[in-house]
């Protein structure tokens, strides 16, 4: 799905980033800091635990454990570490809760800062210039392009991630799920809901 329109710079931007990454890899190898194989192994190890399933498990725990939810909304970094996520991460995690009257959505207007360890690799649209610029100016219209139509009475708050702070949305628990286990609840959570471009 490509919900953003009018973004003609995405391919060029990706190509520029790829060139910079390749140049950095070459410099690391030339200086003897890392071999290509060591770099690949380090990246594979870093990404091994990076999945939206992690954020889904955090969400499900918050839905069934009020004390954990309170800690999560107060200090997201410490709360997710209780579950073994974000160990060693230098960024602060802030979790923002969707309610009946408020909907949250995250973006990184400067680049593509993102809670990778909880949500997995970011989708291409999250990094696109169209999403990064438009969701701040016209969030309701952008969300509608994702198929999310919110009542006019719902306040939409856009949270801008940075190098220091990452955000994750705590979606509203779907109705009719009172009898589900924590594992079954986690299976209902989508990456887009954790970003705020979808509801459950």
Tell me, yes or no, if 18 is annotated catalytic.
Answer: no
Catalytic residue among 18, 51, 111, 122, which?
111
Residue 83 DSSP class: T
Catalytic residue among 54, 112, 128, 161, which?
112
Catalytic residue among 13, 18, 113, 162, which?
113
Tell me, yes or no, if 162 is annotated catalytic.
Answer: no
Residue located via tokens 């499900």: 60
Tell me, yes or no, if 122 is annotated catalytic.
Answer: no
Contact between 84 and 148 (Cβ < 8 Å)? no
Rounded CA separation 65/73 (Å): 12
Tell me, yes or no, if 113 is annotated catalytic.
Answer: yes
Catalytic residue among 54, 108, 128, 161, which?
108
Rounded to the nearest 10°, the torsion over CA 132, 24, 50, 75 is -70
Rounded CA separation 5/136 (Å): 15
What would you report as the CA-atom Rg of the chain, rounded to the nearest whole angstrom? 18
Positions marked active-site = 108, 111-113
């Amino acid at each position: 799905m490509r919900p953003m329109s009018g973004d003609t710079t995405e391919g060029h931007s990706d190509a520029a980033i790829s060139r910079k990454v390749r140049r950095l890899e070459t410099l690391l190898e030339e200086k003897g800091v890392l071999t290509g194989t060591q770099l690949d192994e380090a990246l594979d190890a870093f990404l091994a635990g990076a999945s939206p399933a992690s954020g889904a498990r955090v969400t499900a725990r918050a839905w069934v454990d009020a004390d954990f939810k309170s800690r999560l909304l107060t200090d997201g970094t410490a709360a997710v570490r209780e579950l073994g996520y974000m160990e060693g991460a230098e960024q602060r995690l802030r979790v923002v809760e969707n309610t009946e009257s408020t909907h949250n959505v995250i973006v990184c207007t400067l680049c593509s800062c993102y809670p990778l360890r909880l949500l997995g690799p970011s989708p291409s649209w999250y990094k696109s210039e169209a999403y990064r610029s438009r969701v701040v100016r016209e969030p309701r219209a952008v969300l509608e392009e994702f198929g999310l139509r919110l009542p006019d009475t719902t306040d939409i708050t856009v949270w801008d991630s940075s190098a220091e702070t990452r955000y994750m949305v705590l979606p509203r628990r779907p109705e009719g799920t009172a009898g589900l286990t924590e594992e079954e609840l986690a299976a209902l959570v989508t990456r887009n809901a954790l970003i705020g471009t979808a509801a459950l």
